[in-house]
Structure 1
Amino acid sequence: MKRNLLLLLLAMVSGWLLAACNDGEDGIKPVDTVRVGDRVPAFQVTLHDGTTFDSRTLEGKVTVITFFNTTCGDCRRFLPQLEAAYRQVKTAAAPLAQTRFVAISRAQNDADVTHYWTAQQFTVPYSAQGDRAIYRLFAQAVIPRVYVINREGKVTAAFNDVDTPDATKLQAAIAAAWQ
């Protein structure tokens, strides 16, 4: 009896964690609105330090945009890789060190994201978004999502929960975008 109850509880928790990574809306498939070769849609967010990130100013530098939610298991596994890539790129030689990073939460408030960022000692710039408006400019479902954008404002690499990159793979995509 205890074993069955434990298995049921495990199944429920697993389902909850998976739902955190998926959109949670029945009938919506993981549709990519933005794909490799596309220009980044126009959007503007306020970062945790009060500065503004505006997608209309992407040209001239390579940029990495990540969508996440800290309750998503796949995101929790990926975010340390993003942080590692960020730290390594920021200490690299130019032009690699000029790469911009922004992590944007999908439907998660500032207090929760800030708490997680602080606990994990992350330094990647982030913007907590309480809704899915910015996220839906890029996709309809599934996180994490990572977009590497070249100096012309076009997506040169895109990753999701199926092919989430480690720090090395992400750095390679960033280096390729500078070419």
Structure 2
Amino acid sequence: MFERMKIMDRKWVSPLVLLALIAVVWLLRGTGHPEQVPALQVALLDGGQIDLGHADGKVRLVNFWSTSCGPCIRGMPGLADTHRRHAARGFEVVAVAMSYDAPSHVQDFAQREKLPFRVGFDPVGALDRGFGGIRATPTSFLVDRDGRIVKRIIGNPDHRQLDALIDTLLPPAS
């Protein structure tokens, strides 16, 4: 009888694993992501603001992150390098700290790491909701010069692929 139960247990393992994976993906998907950047203001560390919905001809990577997120912290040097490589051609990174992040931690990290791009806050989660719900950090949105979301990236990007995509969106280097 015990042998029979082991065999039956194995039959259920694969479907249960598959069901668990489907549940995780469903939770991470958010409520649906917009095709156009929402018209929302980001309060920046320097005291300024940026209207993400205002298509100003720049290509942007809007990165949702947190100082308590290990992958986010490990990914910041790569984002800084990507920003530096493409900034002269009209590209910028805007890093948006999640609502649960303490502003003082964000400020300390940005200063300590000398981040070369704009860093902002989402104090009440309005940006999070506007982008369809951020379920995992880091999550980034690559936005073209007309304010259309070209790609959503969950986790740290593959920078070779990201560079290639950014190159298609920017004018040629002179």
TM-score, with structure 2 as normaliser: 0.73
Q: Aligned residues: percent identity?
A: 25
Q: Which has the larger radius of gyration?
A: 2
Q: CA deviation at 1:55?
A: 1.9
Cα distance change of structure 1 residues 176 and 34 upon mapping to structure 2, 3 Å threshold: farther
1:64 aligns with 2:56: no
Distance 1:50 1:152, change over 3 A: same
2:165 paired with 1:167: no
Q: Is the contact made by 1:30 and 1:141 (CA closer than 8 Å) also made in structure 2?
A: yes
| 8 Å contact from structure 2 (residues 86, 92) kept in 1 | no
Measured in 2, the distance between the counterparts of 1:81 and 1:166 equals 9
Task: Note if 1:83 corresponds to 2:80.
Answer: yes
Residue segments in structure 1 that go unaligned for 5+ positions in a row: 1-27
| Alignment: residue pair count | 144
CA contact (8 A) 1:82 1:166 kept: no
Contact 2:98/2:122 (CA < 8 Å) preserved in 1?
yes
Task: Give 2:125's aligned amino acid.
Answer: R
Output one character per residue of 1:18-64: Cα deviation in whole Å (capped at 9) or x when no partner: xxxxxxxxxx70124326xx111120012111221102312422121
**Misfit runs of 4+, over 6 Å:** none
What does the per-residue CA deviation read over 1:86-144, in whole Å, with 9 as the maximum and x for residues that have no partner? 11212x4xxx2x12321100121221101111222212210023332211221241110
Q: One-letter code of the match for 1:102?
A: V
Does structure 1 conserve the Cα–Cα contact (< 8 Å) formed by 2:95 and 2:120?
Answer: yes
Going from structure 1 to structure 2, the CA distance change for 1:134 and 1:84 (only over 3 Å counts) comes to same
Task: Give 3-state SS (helix, strand or coil) of 1:29's partner.
Answer: helix
8 Å Cα contact 1:84/1:167 also seen in 2: no
* 1:1-179 to 2 correspondences below 5 Å: 29-32=27-30, 33-34=32-33, 38-90=35-87, 92=88, 96=89, 98-107=90-99, 108-138=101-131, 139-161=133-155, 164-178=156-170
| TM-score normalized with structure 1 length | 0.71
d(CA) in 1 for partners of 2:134, 2:83: 26
